[in-house]
Amino acid sequence: MDRIRITGGQALRGTIPISGAKNAALPLLIASMLTEDRLTLKNVPNLADVNLLVRILRNHGVDLGVDGKRPGTAMHLGETFHLTARDIVDTTAPYEMVSRMRASFWVLGPLIARMRVAKVSLPGGCAIGTRPVDLHLAGLKALGAEIDIDAGYVIARAPKGLHGAHIVFPKVSVGATLNVLLAAALAKGETLMENAAREPEIGDVASCLAKMGVKIEGIGTSTLRIQGRDRLEGAVHTVLPDRIETGTFAMAVAATGGDVMLEGARAEDLQAALDVLVETGATVEATGTGIRVKRNGGDIKPVSVETQPFPGFPTDLQAQLMALLALASGTSVIRENIFENRFMHVQELARLGADIQLHGDTATINGVTTLKGAPVMATDLRASASLVIAGLAGEGETMINRVYHLDRGFEQLEQKLSRCGANIERLASG
């Protein structure tokens, strides 16, 4: 199993290209099953999760062609995927695939909408909480699906097809919003979704569905009005830049010092996180080509933050912020409101010298003068990123084990950091 070795203490300076958003690319790939025509997606990141989802889609009968990057293409632009689901040959998404990545559960909506039958394993993914799928199933039931759970599988049927409905989510759920949105695209009549998640990735999926012929009102808001279609058309769509990758590198710059242009990033997609960075003492400037982040000297200031659904501070940046605040000149507080088990990185940061106390859903971070390198183990995707930041900002050598988590959500992470002066390398398993 690969490891990453970091020798800390180097300020980051240069340009880091931001890849396409994983959390948009995955549901966009799944959206290809809603049409017999070709869906072309540009700026798709090369990630382990993308590759796994492609295997799942091929199992259902989706044909895929990939255009590699051409000479002269901007650094931050990814690959182009051409997906055609002319015939869905299998309506079962098996446990051995779905259990490895939670997002693959989103195939349920398109399968039941188009094929009127689906058998999808209950999901797996990062061990950061139970994350039940009850809101997904309740939304699909409202659209007319008959749903049973048997031997770890969701069995869904809609003999007469799906129909529009008025759905009010009792709490904000990104996954449930996406699953219902995808299904409603082929439902008869109008679907009104209230208290829907507002994350930019959902807006990106909705914008693509609009290109495919679905009339959607309220994109970017918590109220979505969807006019279902009998048949969707093909389209060409570009995946938006990854705001979590953007925030991760921004916090790495704030932790290590330096001056980095995050090429292709969009400030409006993570303004809450950028505002927190400014509170810590970093300088953040949105430009026509991306976001420039710098911290040239000066202490890291402590802050208090609560994770919230968009547009609040994202849970996917909580661990990375904690690594930064471990070096603050004072005491910071982070309250995690989204996932109940998302503090597993704390014990690994403590191995590097961080002083963090946990009290239920709240972490109190007492800033220390220095972090010191040590062997650590990644527990999930975002926790892995926090260890990279801590290692870059610390003294001596940090060895990060189980880095396959990083490969799920960060494209060429060590290469991007190396180009900005970081002493980081991947050690292949022997």
Q: Write down the residue that tokens 């979590």 correspond to.
A: 244
Catalytic annotation on 420? no
Which residues touch 70 (CB under 8 Å, ≥6 apart)? none
**In whole angstroms, how far apart are CA 319 and each of 104, 203, 401?**
24, 25, 17
The CA-to-CA distance between both ends of the chain, in Å, stands at 8
Q: Is 132 annotated as a binding residue?
A: yes
The answer to the question of whether 316 is labelled as a binding residue is yes
146: β partners? 157
Tell me whether residue 192 is annotated as binding.
Answer: no
- Residue in 126, 277, 371, 378 annotated catalytic: 126
Report H helices in 269-351: 271-279, 318-325, 346-351
133 marked as binding residue? yes
Ligand-binding site membership of 131 (annotated): yes
Q: Which residues contact 153 (CB under 8 A, 6 or more apart)?
A: 95, 119, 120, 121, 122
- Consult the annotation and say whether 69 binds a ligand: no
Residues 6+ positions from 312 with CB-CB distance below 8 Å: 272, 306
The answer on whether 143 is annotated among ligand-binding residues is: no
388 annotated to bind ligand: no
Bridge partners (DSSP) listed for residue 382: none
Structure tokens given for 147 = 């749903």
The reply to whether 174 sits in an annotated binding site is yes
Q: How far is CA 204 from CA 252, 335, 412, in A?
A: 27, 28, 23
Q: Residue 419 carries which DSSP code?
A: T
Buried b / exposed e across 61-76, counting CB within 10 Å, b at 16+? ebeeeeeeeeeeeeeb
Structure tokens at 242: 């990854």
302 is in an annotated binding site: no
Binding-site residues for phosphoenolpyruvate sit at: 22-23
Binding-site residues sit at: 22-23, 102, 131-135, 171-174, 316, 338
Binding-site residues for UDP-N-acetyl-alpha-D-glucosamine sit at: 102, 131-135, 171-174, 316, 338
Q: Which residues are catalytic?
A: 126
